[in-house]
Chain A
Amino acid sequence: MTQTSAESYVSKVTKPNDFDDFWGEVLSDLESIPINPEVVQDHIKSTDDVDVFHVTFDSLDNVRIFGWYCLPKKSNRELPAILTVPGYNAEAGVSLNLARKGYAAFDVAPRGKIGSHHQYNPGYPGLLTYNIVDRNTYSYRGFYADAWRAVDFLLSRNEVDSKRIGVQGGSQGGGLTITTAAMRPEIRAAKCSVPYLCGIIDAIELTDTYPYYEITEYLRIHPDSKAKVEETLAYFDVNNFADKVRCPIIVNIGLQDQVCPPQTGYVVFDLLGSKDKNLYPYDGYGHGGGGHIYQPIVDDFFQKHLLPKKD
């Protein structure tokens, strides 16, 4: 895939007229549920310089959500925070290294991930097509909301500076980064890598790999549901959230990404509403998006936007 051919791709995704009403109702439902956070230290995972905690809280439909929270031990002032949202197959990690850099680091496990799967567990493969013909019960309705609710958890913490919260993730985490930055204006900086769930109906034509291939498999068995599936997906396509992103954001893509097509990365980047946005396309790289080259850029980005200037 050349950069030019990927850049010129035209998406088929359209935005439903009642898109904002649909998500406004979800946010309203979410706000009506008390968060009820519980924070318990994990002494095995805590280290000499970082305290690690198990966190649980209530989210949409009263599903209990889990996450790992890391705090630097030596800190006597309000901390900037980074929320990390997971990839499709990944589990929530323990971000000791972010805490060492001076951040309150929260890794959330949205519903169905290990730790958040006792009430809700569509499985893998499965999550992407679970109730895909009904936007009101489609898996990602709650899954997106869980990531947004994770911002409420950070806002509830005394040690977190509510004006310095960032979000980051790769693949599905890249998609969740955009939806979270779009729906939570408290987010001040966002790092999105090889984003998934952007141009979903485009991607299923462009790729022949999991996870998008789950939809191909579903439609092979349920060909009559195609219109209904496309109708549902339009409410969840990250492209349709992108114009709401106002914070600084950086995006990297791999031009040979066989999981999340680079064409879809270009489209969603163009749609981002932020005036401070930068795209880093890497030729010769796949779904890792050249992450090892990109990481210093990420460190500088968050340092610039979230960390206090050194005295």
Chain B
Amino acid sequence: MIDTNELRKMCDTMRVDALRMTTDAASGHPSSCLSCIEIIGVVILDIMNIDPDDPSKFDRDRFVLSKGHAAPAYYSALSLKGFIPREELYSLRAIGSRLQGHPDMNKTPGVDFSTGSLGMGLSVANGMALACRLNNASSRIYVLLGDGELQEGQIWEAAMTAGHYRLSNVIAIVDRNKLQCDGLTEDIKSIEPLDAKFKAFGWRVFFVDGHDIGALQKVIRDAQTPYDGPTVIIADTLKGKGVTCMEDQLNWHGKPLKGEAFEQALRECGQ
């Protein structure tokens, strides 16, 4: 277990990375990264059994970024873990780059599955969990779901599958930042009550402050305790967390920062 203060520093670096990478590429989804920096940071840097020297290790844990547009945060965490050279981060979205706009398992070391079309990650995680069960591997499958993508029907097909097959090795985390591209999830098509929905499908539900690193470390370890079914952690987050101009604001989906706003954001993130 990594010290919480150490993780805090690494997450600060991830936050700056995600801003720099998307501004440098003049393309991408910084606000969607900022809401799940701590979630991705804690899962990849602290929790998962993975090894950059043996990326295809048989019994490794898996991570599926179902909200694939948070790829810059994912790449940043993988670079801090040693899967990707730090200097490669700025090739994001460039022609020929290993760092695609959305994660590509065949291009980027450490990426377990290709994503980007929303609503598909939970089915994939279930398939990984079933395969690992058949392989008698002790792997855990972590899947990060956006809250907006919970409007996709396939998510609930997959929620039913995980409940039916009692996939105790599946741990889903919902980045509940409450905003989607066109506005508030609850205005566009309400997804609440989320806990009751998951419970009805046979899931164990935890809540956490998705920006509190110590709380995330604790709740994920709670989610690893024995339970005869899948577990979901609903993480309360803010889209654009840490950058005043975009934090919890509408109309920032898929928009990189520019000019003075970018400089100001870096200062706010400790640069």
Q: Do A and B come from one complex?
A: no
**Taking beta carbons and an 8 Å cutoff, which residues of B are in contact with A?**
none
**Taking beta carbons and an 8 Å cutoff, which residues of A are in contact with B?**
none
